[in-house]
Structure 1
Amino acid sequence: MALVVCTALAAAVAAQTVCTRPAPGPRVDARPALAALAALATVPARTHRDDYDRAAFGPAWDDGSDAALAGNGCDTRDDILARDLRDTTHVATTACPRAVAAGEMRSPYTGDRVDFRRGRERGGTVQIDHIVPLAYAWDSGAHAWGARLRLTFANDPANLVAVDGRSNQDKGDSPPAEWMPPNAGFRCRYAVQFVLVASTYGLAVDERSVAVLRDALGQC
């Protein structure tokens, strides 16, 4: 399963996101990400704020933050499942005419095959991860944003990827200095996305994470 590389438009970050698939082949051109990493605002260490609230980023998951998908009736979770899963079947729900009912994927974080079945008991086997965690973003500058920008960030496909549930839980709100994908083959793409998202939204990154990201990009 290859992550769709999405680059948010910095000049219109509250309006739309452009998503393109990476070129075929295992190598990724890390030069844009390395340049963006060098220009990132950095802080010596993460400062954990005590006023983080998930609700500050709006309802999970919003329909309409991505201009290409706005108004399709499906929320962001449905859209990411449709993007990242393979061999999917669909079902119509009250809101979404083509919600993913079942599918399969190889979790990019582990490389393991995971089956998805829609439903309260089984849907958690595949979860949607924020590559730059919401709580980390809050500590890194999002606490000063307006509600619309926070909603856009929380639903930006450039910052979202379908993964196995256990990896998502293990990661929590950890930055790269504390957690990187166990699947070493995915760390380059993970670092590229983390850096481009942080750069687009003007987020500061702690110095230990900058070093980890630089090392991962050097392996691309």
Structure 2
Amino acid sequence: MNQSYFSIFAFALLIGLAPISACQINSESSDGNSSAIKGQIASEIPPYERTAFGGGWEDEDGDCRNTRMEVLADLSLSRVRYDSDGCRVVSGRWISEYTGREVYDASEVEIDHVVPLAYAWRHGAYRWTSEARGKFANDSINLLPAEVSLNRSKGDSPPSEWLPDENRCAYVSRFLRIAKTYDLALPTAERIFIHTELESCKTAE
């Protein structure tokens, strides 16, 4: 067993994911039957629809401020200003975790799902109950304010396909923590990528 595989094996045990064998790594990174198998598995997953995670942001405590508004208020570095009804956040002061840029107009901020809903769907959420999916969509641990353009560019990409300009280590670590909390089945290639990124973070400390 070579050193690189041993480190991957140890990492898999550490984060509570099933360890992967060298044969699995080789087979998943090669052509041939693996593509056919992946296609077969993908065909068994129902198409993703946003409504599977509920009708949008919830207002769990019934105070007219939905999850988006609660997150904006909680993460603002200054006191937020609401509209005349006191329900919608109009302005505040947010520092983007992804760029470090300060934003004051709430309309320029979107709430990003660190683990995108569509990605979660493909990796296990399609098996959950509607209630569990609604909880996931509104879980503040999975929510961060981000600039509109960044949120759109990220789409439903995992860390191996998209990383922010700033705070990459914190982002990857948070993605992994959420995936583990919700028992999402991360593909082998994604686990290896996350392991490599977090090892780089340790080196940079």
Shorter-chain TM band: 0.7 to 0.9
Q: How many Å apart are 1:158 and its aligned residue?
A: 0.6
SS at match of 1:87: coil
Q: Contact 2:95 / 2:101 at 8 angstroms: preserved in 1? A: yes
- Between the aligned partners of 2:42 and 2:165, the Cα distance in structure 1 is 26
Q: How many Å apart are 1:106 and its aligned residue?
A: 1.9
Matched residue, 1:74:
65
Q: Contact 1:129 / 1:163 at 8 angstroms: preserved in 2? A: yes
State the TM-score, normalized to the length of structure 2: 0.74
Q: Contact 2:73 / 2:80 at 8 angstroms: preserved in 1? A: no
CA deviation map 1:118-145 (0-9, x unaligned): xxxxx1x210000000000000010111
Distance 1:37 1:112, change over 3 A: farther
Aligned residues: 172
Q: Contact 1:36 / 1:196 at 8 angstroms: preserved in 2? A: no
Q: Contact 1:88 / 1:100 at 8 angstroms: preserved in 2? A: no
Gaps of 5+ in 1: 1-33, 65-69, 118-122
Q: How many Å apart are 1:38 and its aligned residue?
A: 3.2
User: What RMSD in Å do the two structures reach over aligned CA positions?
Assistant: 2.6
SS at match of 2:78: strand
Which letter maps to 1:39?
G
Q: Determine whether 1:192 maps to 2:173.
A: yes
SS at match of 1:73: coil
Distance 1:47 1:110, change over 3 A: farther
- Between the aligned partners of 1:162 and 1:195, the Cα distance in structure 2 is 19
Matched residue, 2:17:
40
Structure 1 or 2: more helix by fraction:
2
SS at match of 2:110: strand
Matched residue, 2:31:
none
Q: How many Å apart are 1:100 and its aligned residue?
A: 2.1
Q: Which of the pair has more CA radius of gyration? A: 2
CA deviation map 1:77-96 (0-9, x unaligned): 001101222223322565xx
Structure 1 or 2: more strand by fraction:
1
Distance 1:177 1:91, change over 3 A: same
Distance 1:61 1:178, change over 3 A: same
Q: Contact 1:104 / 1:115 at 8 angstroms: preserved in 2? A: yes
Q: How many Å apart are 1:35 and its aligned residue?
A: 7.2
CA deviation map 1:37-89 (0-9, x unaligned): 6323589579485610000000110111xxxxx33331000011012222233
- Runs of 4+ in structure 1 over 6 Å off: 34-37
- Between the aligned partners of 1:106 and 1:71, the Cα distance in structure 2 is 28
SS at match of 2:178: helix
* Pairing partner for 2:125 from 138, 142, 147: 142
Higher relative contact order (CA 8 A, sep 6+): 1
Matched residue, 1:54:
50
- Between the aligned partners of 2:64 and 2:148, the Cα distance in structure 1 is 25
Q: Contact 1:36 / 1:195 at 8 angstroms: preserved in 2? A: no
Q: Contact 2:46 / 2:126 at 8 angstroms: preserved in 1? A: no
Q: Contact 1:37 / 1:210 at 8 angstroms: preserved in 2? A: no
Matched residue, 1:28:
none
Gaps of 5+ in 2: 1-10, 29-37
Q: Determine whether 1:166 maps to 2:149.
A: yes
SS at match of 1:174: coil
Distance 1:136 1:37, change over 3 A: farther
Which letter maps to 2:47?
D
